[in-house]
Amino acid sequence: MNLEQLRSFVEVARIGHFTRAAALLHLAQPSLSRQISTLESDLGAELFHRVRGNITLTDAGESLLPLARRMLADAESVRYEMQELAGLRKGRVRLGATPTLCISLVADVLTSFHAAYPGIDLHLTEQGSHGLLEELSEGALDIALITTSEDPQNASSILQRTPLLTEELVLISSARSELLTGRESMTLGDIAKLPLITFHESYDLRATTMQAFSASRLNPTVVLEGAEMDAVLRCVERGLGVAVVPAMVMVDRPGLRSVRITEPRLTRSISIAHRHDVTLTRAAAAMQEMIINTADLFAAAHTGAAATITRLH
């Protein structure tokens, strides 16, 4: 078994067609077929069902696929690590983060990191923590920033998570709106009476908010449902309604006003995750240090603020 065979196997599994996979791999179709046949012979198991051109994975193929992806990702990490022996002038970092972090903490991290290490290629994946943890397990990411509420209890044991920040969820409105005028805080009961904009159902932030209303036996007045983060913020700025967001989102947003939420107080925790069975490349380790330093700055800037962001150690 070699990396070329594994790469061919993964591509056929992804495309579901030998001829098209061969073209993408710049191989003749018979050569690709021989690679797969040799791999199956070495493993002693068929990897694909081949029925009238319909290519699907067997049980053995399903078991091999995540392992093959991980092995290929590890081999790629080795290649980049060798490039870094000359210093952090070359290399790559694959960072994953949730949508709310991408428009706040991560934006500052990437700006500072690129200024310090302009030769490092940066790849950013934006999705919920569940998907990020899966990509980490498969070796498709080096580091991910996840939120505790999105972190599944049965997450892979090969992942190491380091607490980073905890922050309050706050209620926001347009700075021109009178909905929050004269208020320093609001209860969920108060919020339920206001026109509420909610996030897309893929956002754990939406689930957290709606669960809090449900636990308090409240039915919020939803005026817009299923929006993405950027759309929510823009709609709030234009006075369409209010929204519950992490305090970090308020950084450098003069068009928004926020108040704290009480009864109950809503918070979330942020952690850095990576695979503990794979040593971080020098570039990834530098990125992790940059994330920690930026988190320290965020926490210091919000000490004593209307809504707190606290550094976790």
Residue 313 domain flag? no
Angle between helices 3-15 and 29-43 (to 10 degrees): 110
If one counts the domains in the chain, the total is: 3
Please work out, in degrees rounded to the nearest 5, the angle formed at the alpha carbon of residue 60 by the alpha carbons of 56 and 66: 85
pLDDT at 27: 87
13 shares a domain with 46: yes
Q: What digits encode the pLDDT tens for the residues 260-303?
A: 998 888 988 899 999 988 888 888 999 999 999 999 888 877 66
Cβ–Cβ contacts within 10 Å for residue 178, how many?
9
Same domain, 263 and 192: yes
Q: Specify whether 69 is located in the same domain as 85.
A: no
257 part of a folded domain: yes
What CA–CA distances, in Å, run from 79 to 50, 74, 160, 167, 282?
34, 9, 23, 38, 12
**Pair 180, 237 in one domain:** yes
**Among 27, 57, 73, which residue terminates a domain?**
73
Angle at 75 between CA 73 and CA 81, to 5 degrees: 105
Residue 103 lies in a domain: yes
What would the mean pLDDT of 132-157 be, rounded to a whole number? 76
pLDDT bin (cut points 50, 70, 90) of residue 150 is very low
Claim to verify: residue 144 and residue 57 sit in the same structural domain: no
- Sequence-ordered list of residues with C-beta below 8 angstroms from that of 182, at least 6 positions apart, any chain: none
Residue 198 shares a structural domain with residue 61? no
CB 142, CB 291: distance < 8 Å: no
Whether the CB-CB separation of 262 and 185 falls below 8 Å is answered with: yes
* pTM (2 d.p.): 0.67
Q: What is the CATH number of the domain that holds 255?
A: 3.40.190.290
- Give 237's pLDDT tier (boundaries 50, 70, 90): very high
In this structure, are 216 and 158 located in the same domain? no
Contact by Cβ (8 Å): 70, 9: no
Range of the domain at 13: 3-73
The answer to whether residues 262 and 276 belong to one domain is: no
- Domain membership of residue 309 (yes or no) is no
Residues 32 and 121 in one domain: no
Pairing type for strands 159-174 and 195-199 reads unpaired
HSE-CB of 240 using CA atoms within 13 angstroms: 17
Q: Return the percent helix, strand and coil in the chain, to nearest 5.
A: 45, 25, 30
Indicate if 284 and 262 belong to the same structural domain. no
| 67 and 85, same domain (yes or no) | no
Q: What is the CATH number of the domain that holds 34?
A: 1.10.10.10
Q: State the average pLDDT for the chain.
A: 87
Question: 252 and 205, same structural domain?
Answer: yes
